Each structure stands twice: as C-alpha cells, then as structure tokens.
C-alpha cells in the first residue's frame, strides 16, 4: 500500500489532562498511528513536528510543519495527514496550501474531545483523513480539513463551533464526505499557483472592528511597526468613517493594507462609501478570504523584505488566479 505520512502537530488529539483535569500539551510524540485500525496502519509513517496546543503556535512553528509536509511530498508520499489543534488549524492548513502546488493531498484533522473524555472524536477523524489521503479522487485538491465527516478546502474552511464534533464549516464549502461507507467527492476546490517556500513576515496584524471603533486602534498597530494590516470590518468590508484617515495614513506610509469582513459569506466589495474610500487608497479587498487568511497571504507576500508595492502585486495576482 502506498505511503501516507502522518505528521503529529499537537493539539487536543495529542493532549493529556493535568491533575485538575485541564488539558495540557503532551511532551513529545503522541503515537497516533497506533490508534488506527491495523489495516489502515499499513504504509503510514508517523513524524513529529510540534507538541504544543495550537493557540500557542507561532509562524516559526507553522513553517516547521509546512516544511515537514514539503519533505514528505518530495519523498514521494501518496498523501500527508497532519493532526493539529483546532484553534489554528484553518490558519496552518491555509498556509500549507499557499506553498503546496503538487497533486498529493495534504489533509488536516484533529479532535474537539480529547482521548481522556467520553465520546472522543479523534480516532474517527484520523481514520477519515487517512482514507481520504489514499483515495484517488483526492489527487489535486491541495490542502484541506477533514473533520466530522466533511472535507473542506483550505481556502474556505473555518472553525464554527468551539466544542462540538462538527467543528468546521461552512457546510456549503464541503467538497466531499468521509464515513464508514468510504470517501465521496462532490466538487473540486479552486486552487491558485503556489508560492516558493519562504519564512513569512511576522509583522502583519489584524484590527477587528466593533461599533464605534476609534482610530487609536489603527494608530497603536502602526506604532508597533507593522508592515501589513488587515482590517476586519462589517458587511461588504465597511468601516466607521472616523477610521478612514488613519487607514489612509498607514497605506501612504508603505504599509500593505487589506479589508476583510466579519461575515461568513458574501465576501468584500466597494459597494458603500467607506469601502469605496478604502479601495481608493489602495486597500486590498479580501474577497472570500477571512481576515486571518488574508493576514497569512500578506505575510507570505511580504516575505524576504518585499516592499508594499511588490507584495500588493503578489496578493492581487493570487486572488485573481
């Protein structure tokens, strides 16, 4: 049977309870291959990349996982399965997708309920992810999340439930299902050309807005030395008018600026006055990307000290692909 590389990247699926019953990170590898059914273990090679919980993950940790994926694909793996914490799974899955241009599927999965509690979901999710990795129709889908029986492409997958077993959605983005009757694909995800593997620029931040947000929020991030700024606004990418001068000043100062929406669907467009004003000063609309994913795209585009103009061309080119 063709090989599948299983990368242990920590998270709930690998966690342990402490003396109080609070989940904490496991030291070292979790030995997750052993929870697979014997027939599924054949040809599965396990590697360890990260031991912590995913809320503590930094760019360096995430890129370490991406490099493990690249090594596995270069070594001829039929597919790669990454077990990961759900809090930032969508981020690292998307980052992996930005760098992965090959046909081997890269599948992220994990658990909402740890192995130490009743109803743990990790074994079923891992079983499904390995089955998807071996399915011939998974070739060419890029990176995706396999969770709660659903297969969701990296570009659109988002954590929607903080505790339930169907953690990821939106369901309308599902490209296939995996269950006890096998794997079934119903759609092919949109893919853009991959970037060369680089260390992302860490000085990119998100300003999440609420009603009446003040310019001080943008000014504080500017004072911290950000090179990229993603504003998570309302509706189609709208912001309070009092923020427009601060955002325009950031863009004029050489900061790459983007505008995303807090909405799950519909994307961004300069349909209203504030959104049009942002477009006029060069802010990049996230389109269907979440603020977190636009931030990652910015971080990759700004890598290697690229200036805002170069990075903007990279981002707009990727979004248009």
Q: Is the pTM of this model over 0.95?
A: yes
Q: Does 94 have pLDDT greater than 70?
A: yes
Same domain, 112 and 178: yes
Taking residues 300-318, report their average pLDDT.
Answer: 98
Query: For position 309, which CATH number holds?
Result: 3.40.50.40
The pLDDT mean for the chain works out to 96
CB 186 within 8 A of CB 81: no
Same domain, 45 and 171: yes
Q: Is residue 286 part of a domain?
A: yes
Same domain, 181 and 211: no
Q: Is residue 196 part of a domain?
A: no
Task: Report the phi/psi class of residue 290: left, alpha or beta, with left for phi > 0 and alpha for psi in -120 to 50.
Answer: beta
| pLDDT, tens only, 46-61 | 999 999 999 999 999 9
Taking residues 250-257, report their average pLDDT.
Answer: 97
Same domain, 43 and 143: yes
Same domain, 211 and 285: yes
Q: Does 2 have pLDDT greater than 80?
A: no
Taking residues 122-129, report their average pLDDT.
Answer: 97
Taking residues 73-82, report their average pLDDT.
Answer: 97
- Please identify, among 185, 219, 244, the residue that sits at the C-terminal boundary of a domain: 185
| 86 catalytic residue (yes or no) | yes
CB 102 within 8 A of CB 129: no
Q: Is residue 192 part of a domain?
A: no
Which residues make up each annotated binding site? 54, 86-87
- Please identify, among 151, 185, 219, the residue that sits at the C-terminal boundary of a domain: 185
Same domain, 246 and 159: no
Alpha carbon distance 92, 97 (integer Å): 8
Nearest to 33 by CA among 121, 116, 130: 130
| pLDDT, tens only, 101-111 | 999 999 999 99
| 12 catalytic residue (yes or no) | yes
Same domain, 244 and 294: yes
Number of domains in the chain: 2
Full residue range of the structural domain in which residue 275 is found: 204-320
Q: Is residue 197 part of a domain?
A: no
Same domain, 121 and 54: yes
Number of Cβ atoms within 10 Å of the Cβ of 149: 16
- Please identify, among 127, 152, 185, the residue that sits at the C-terminal boundary of a domain: 185
Alpha carbon distance 233, 263 (integer Å): 9
Distance of CA 73 to the CA centre of its chain: 19
pLDDT of residue 262: 97
Query: For position 98, which CATH number holds?
Result: 3.40.50.1170
Q: Is residue 199 part of a domain?
A: no
Which residues make up each annotated binding site for substrate? 54, 86-87
Q: Is residue 190 part of a domain?
A: no
Q: Is residue 193 part of a domain?
A: no
| pLDDT, tens only, 130-177 | 999 999 999 999 999 999 999 999 999 999 999 999 999 999 999 999
Q: Does 30 have pLDDT greater than 90?
A: no
Taking residues 291-306, report their average pLDDT.
Answer: 98
Same domain, 9 and 99: yes
140: which 2 tokens? Answer: 């060419």
Q: Which of 83, 86, 88, 268 is catalytic?
A: 86
Alpha carbon distance 257, 252 (integer Å): 10
Same domain, 264 and 148: no
Taking residues 304-312, report their average pLDDT.
Answer: 97
| pLDDT, tens only, 228-246 | 999 999 999 999 999 999 9
Structure confidence at residue 207 as a pLDDT band (50, 70, 90) = very high
Same domain, 142 and 74: yes
pLDDT of residue 28: 86
Q: Is residue 191 part of a domain?
A: no
Same domain, 13 and 90: yes
């Amino acid at each position: 049977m063709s090989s599948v590389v299983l990368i242990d990247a920590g998270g709930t699926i690998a966690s342990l309870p402490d003396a109080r019953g609070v989940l904490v990170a496991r030291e070292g590898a979790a030995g997750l291959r052993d929870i697979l059914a014997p027939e599924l273990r054949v040809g599965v090679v396990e590697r360890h990349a990260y031991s912590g919980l995913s809320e503590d993950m930094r760019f360096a940790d995430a890129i370490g996982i991406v490099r493990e994926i690249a090594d596995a694909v270069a070594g001829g793996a039929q597919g790669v399965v990454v077990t990961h914490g759900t809090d930032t799974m969508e981020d690292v899955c998307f980052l992996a997708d930005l760098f992965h241009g090959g046909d081997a599927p890269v599948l992220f999965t994990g658990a909402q309920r740890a192995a130490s509690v009743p109803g743990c979901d990790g074994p079923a999710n891992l079983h499904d992810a390995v089955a998807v990795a071996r399915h011939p129709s998974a070739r060419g889908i890029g990176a995706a999340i396999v969770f709660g029986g659903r297969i969701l492409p990296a570009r659109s997958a988002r954590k929607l439930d903080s505790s339930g077993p169907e953690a990821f959605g939106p369901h309308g983005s599902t490209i296939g299902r995996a269950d006890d009757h096998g794997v079934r694909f119903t759609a092919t995800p949109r893919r853009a050309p991959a970037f060369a593997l680089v260390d992302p620029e860490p000085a990119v931040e998100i300003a999440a807005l609420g009603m009446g947000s003040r310019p001080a929020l943008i000014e504080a991030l500017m004072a911290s030395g950000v090179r990229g700024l993603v504003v998570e606004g309302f509706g189609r990418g709208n912001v309070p008018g009092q923020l427009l001068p601060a955002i325009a000043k950031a863009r004029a100062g050489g900061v790459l600026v983007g505008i995303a929406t807090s909405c799950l669907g519909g994307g961004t467009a300069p349909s209203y006055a504030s959104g049009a004003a942002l477009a006029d000063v060069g802010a990049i609309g996230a389109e269907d990307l979440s603020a977190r994913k636009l931030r990652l795209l910015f971080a990759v585009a700004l890598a290697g000290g690229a200036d805002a103009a170069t990075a903007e061309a990279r981002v707009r080119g990727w979004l248009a692909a």
